[in-house]
Amino acid sequence: MKLLKGTMVLVMFVIWGCTSTAANRRQPLPPAPAGAEVESIYRIQPGDLLDVKFFYNPELNEQVVVRSDGKISLQLITEVTAGGLTPTELTQRLSTAYAKEILEPKITVIVRTPVADKVYVDGEVNRAGMVTISGTITAVQSIAQAGGMKESANPKTVVVIRRGSDNEISTIHLNVEEIRKKGEGDVVLQPNDIVYVPRSSISDINTWIDLYIRKNVPLPIGLGYSIR
């Protein structure tokens, strides 16, 4: 009898664990915990000036500007997508590409002149548009720089739209009203994030996000996107 009870408890624990894991996969990106130190991760953008240096093949050294489509052209290899990658990720991608042309390539990528970091604040704010950032800025701080929310805004359903590498789009849902009350749960923004403050009348926020992205975040022809 004791063995049967132990088996039932074990089965219930496994089922609970699987359910919890599946639920976690459906959740949007979590906000940064209060007081946590957030590492700044720079992702290459169109307009950035890059130094591509080869330790053992200096004749291949180049200085290139990332084109508007996010790609760069280099010697010996076909064009490579750089936009959306970190310098480390681009270094790894170039090392793989050049391994077919030279023996054991040793490469480093340096962002020589980055374009000005910026985020966009849209929707029910007093001064919608681009906000230039220096250092770090949170979603709530960006709304303040955009003149604050209008009376018609819904502070409980603010959305941060973020495009990562491989053109994948993620959304972070914020309750700014709760963040202001508790002083925690805010999100540190990354360059090119979009902070949208919707009207209080929007009922189906998930449907609205899909429509907003399709209308206002143009993607390169032939590439899709996913929302998580």
d(CA 25, CA 116): 34
What's the pLDDT score for residue 42? 81
Name the domain boundary from 60, 79, 113.
Answer: 113
49-53, 96-100, 194-198, 220-224: least confident range: 220-224
Residues 82 and 133 in one domain: no
Q: Which of the two residues, 34 and 177, has the higher pLDDT score?
A: 177
Contact assessment for residue 194 and residue 217, using Cβ atoms and an 8 Å cutoff: yes
Provide, rounded to the nearest whole percent, the portion of the chain with pLDDT above 70: 70
Range(s) of the domain holding residue 88: 49-113
Are 56 and 133 contained in the same domain? no
- CATH number of the domain within which 77 lies: 3.30.1950.10
For residue 1, what pLDDT is reported? 45
Contact, 162 vs 29, CB < 8 A? yes
- Looking at the structure, do residues 102 and 127 belong to the same domain, yes or no? no
Q: How far apart are CA 133 and CA 139, in angstroms?
A: 12
User: Do 73 and 128 lie in a common domain?
Assistant: no
Domain count, the chain: 2
pLDDT digits over 134-156, tens only? 778 999 999 999 999 999 999 99
- Is pLDDT above 60 for 215? yes
Helix or strand or coil: residue 192? coil
Q: How many CB atoms lie within 10 A of CB 214?
A: 11
Q: Are residues 72 and 99 in the same domain?
A: yes
Q: How far is CA 2 from CA 6, 10, 11, 13, 16, in A?
A: 6, 12, 14, 17, 21
With bands split at pLDDT 50, 70 and 90, how would you rate the model's confidence at 202? Answer: low
Running DSSP on this structure, what letter comes out for residue 148? -
CB 80 within 8 A of CB 74: yes
Predicted model pTM: 0.53
Q: With respect to residue 20, please indicate whether it lies within any of the assigned structural domains.
A: no
Select from 114, 105, 67, 107 the least CA-distant residue to 91.
Answer: 107
CATH of the domain at 122: 3.10.560.10
Sequence-ordered list of residues with C-beta below 8 angstroms from that of 150, at least 6 positions apart, any chain = 124, 125, 126
What are the backbone dihedrals phi and psi of residue 224, each rounded to the nearest 5 degrees, phi first? -100, -170
Has residue 22 been placed in a domain? no
Q: How many CA atoms lie within 13 A of 5 on its CB side?
A: 2
Q: Both 134 and 190 in a single domain? A: yes
Q: Which of 80, 113, 146 is the last residue of a domain?
A: 113
95 and 144 co-located in one domain = no
Instruction: With beta carbons less than 8 A apart as the criterion, state whether 147 and 127 touch.
Output: yes
In DSSP notation, 76-93 reads SS--EE-TT--HHHHHHH
| pLDDT of 30 strictly over 60 | no
Report pLDDT digits (tens) over 43-92: 898 889 999 999 999 999 999 999 989 999 999 998 999 998 999 999 99
